Structure 1
Amino acid sequence: MDLGTITEVVRRPPERPGAQWRDGDAWLAGGTWLFSVPQPELRRLVDLTALGWDPLVPSEAGLEIGATCTIRDLYELALQGDWQAAPLLRTSCEAFLASFKVWNSATVGGNICMSLPAGPMITMTVALEATYTLWAADGSERTVAAADFVTGDHRNVLAPGEILRRIDIPAAALRKRHTHRRFALTRLGRSTLFMVATQTPASADLALTITAGTTRPIRLTFEEMPDAEALRGRIDALPDDVWFDDPNGTPEHRLHLARHFAEEIRVEFAGVRA
């Protein structure tokens, strides 16, 4: 879609572009959402892809993902060693409601900053205990836990002019056992519910991340594997208004899915035959 109100595109911003931020600006990365709907309040686009941030940097500490890393680059990353949860990166890419052409443009950071309930990069980074590095317009930076970044449907903690610079996934989280459940009305459709569970090696703990069916990511943790009643009780105790309501599912349906999938995962991790 043409954005008829745009009067300028900044193709070569400074390394710290926040200082140039003004009302009517938008950061441009993949632009897959930006160009999909009218943006009458915008006057200028600032192209972050020109800054040349490294897309993916694996190290002993974990995995650093540049905010402008494309979904295609993330999907094609080959990780070896003891990072048992590494397949979740591909699984999350496959949860996109998008064609391969969109994968070539859409960015990890863009999906996170859109902060939609079904954003699979949000699911992935919350489940893998990531942190986000944010650059403020005044040149300062702060670190925010992925689980605390999204506050509601299309809402997050970013201040005006603030940029998501990178995502850091710790190696300890990547070493965890994991499993997932996802429901959509069609095979390639938007997720009605996307649930990821992780467990520390040689432990009986459980971390359960619920997204797509909720207005913000929900992360439930247990030091020991709960029984069925305790697990259901934690899910039922979530506020009623946390369950998302749209044509892909009612809050009641999504709550039912969360209960069902959580019990499946509990049985799977506990090694009990259903």
Structure 2
Amino acid sequence: MDLNTITEVVRRPSERPGTDWREGDAWLAGGTWLYSVEQPDLRRLIDLTALGWEPLVPTDRGLEIGATCTVRDLYAFPWPVRWTAGVLFRRSCEAFLSSFKVWNAATVGGNICMSLPAGPMITLTVALEARYELWAPDGSVRFVDALDFVTGDHRNILAPGEILRRVTVPEHALRARVAHRRFTLTRLGRSTVFLAGTQQPGGHDLLLTITAGTTRPVRIAFDAVPDARTLRRSIDAVPADVWFDDPNGTPDHRRHLTRHFAEEIRRELTAGDLT
């Protein structure tokens, strides 16, 4: 779509682009959503891809993902054998409601900052206990848990002009055992629910992440894998107003699917039979 209100595109912003932020600006990365709908309040686009942020940087502490890393690059990354959670990265990429062409442009940071319930990069980063590095226009930096970033449907904690710089996934989460379940009404449709369960190697814990069926990510932690009744009660304790309602599913439908798939995840991790 043509954005006919845009009067300027900043192709080469400064290394700290937020310092030049003004009302009517928008960050431009992949632009897959930005160009898909009218943007009558925007006057200027600031192109972040020109900054050349490294897409994927393995470290001794885990993995750093640049906000402008494309879905294509994330999917193609050669995961070390020790990072058993690598399977969740690929499954999350495959959960995008988009063609492979969009993968070449869509970014990890863009999907997170859109903060839609079905955002698969939100599922991925919350499930793997990631932290986000945020840059403010005044030059300050803050770090937030991925779980605390999204506050509702298309809502998050970003202040005006603030930017997501990178996502850091800790080493212990990358080594976790993972089980996941996703449901869509059609084969390539938007996620109705997307769940991920993780467990530390040799451990008996369970970290269950619920997304797509809720307006914000929900994380339920157990020191030991619970029995079926305890797990169900924990899911039923999720506040009623957190369950998402749209043409892909009612709150009751999504709660039912979550109970069903969470039990499958519980059994899978208990048995150690990963798929």
Range of TM-score over shorter length: over 0.9
How many angstroms does 1:271 deviate by?
1.7
Query: Map of 1:160-199 to 2, 5 A cutoff?
Result: 160-199=160-199
> SS at the partner of 1:101?
helix
Structure 2 unmatched runs, 5+: none
How many angstroms does 1:266 deviate by?
1.1
Question: Alpha-carbon deviations, 1:33-82, whole Å to 9, x = none?
Answer: 00000000000000000000000001221110000000000000011131
Which residue is 2:262 aligned to?
262
> SS at the partner of 1:134?
strand
Which residue is 2:111 aligned to?
111
> SS at the partner of 1:91?
helix
Which residue is 1:82 aligned to?
82
CA separation in 2, counterparts of 1:272 and 1:132? 31
Deviates more, 1:190-199 or 1:53-62: 53-62
Shift in alpha-carbon separation, 1:227–1:272, aligned structure 2, 3 A: farther
Q: TM-score, normalised by structure 2?
A: 0.98
Which residue is 1:157 aligned to?
157
> SS at the partner of 1:90?
helix
Deviates more, 1:81-90 or 1:121-130: 81-90
Which residue is 2:37 aligned to?
37
CA separation in 2, counterparts of 1:256 and 1:88? 23
Which residue is 2:240 aligned to?
240
Q: TM-score, normalised by structure 1?
A: 0.98
Structure 1 unmatched runs, 5+: none
One-letter amino acid of the counterpart of residue 236, structure 2:
D
1:205 paired with 2:205, answer: yes
Shift in alpha-carbon separation, 1:42–1:238, aligned structure 2, 3 A: same
CA separation in 2, counterparts of 1:272 and 1:19? 50
One-letter amino acid of the counterpart of residue 85, structure 2:
A
Which residue is 2:99 aligned to?
99
One-letter amino acid of the counterpart of residue 15, structure 1:
E
Percent of paired sites with the same residue: 72
Which residue is 1:20 aligned to?
20
One-letter amino acid of the counterpart of residue 47, structure 2:
D
Shift in alpha-carbon separation, 1:272–1:174, aligned structure 2, 3 A: closer
CA separation in 2, counterparts of 1:63 and 1:210? 23
One-letter amino acid of the counterpart of residue 67, structure 2:
A
One-letter amino acid of the counterpart of residue 158, structure 1:
L
Question: Alpha-carbon deviations, 1:250-269, whole Å to 9, x = none?
Answer: 10000000000111111112
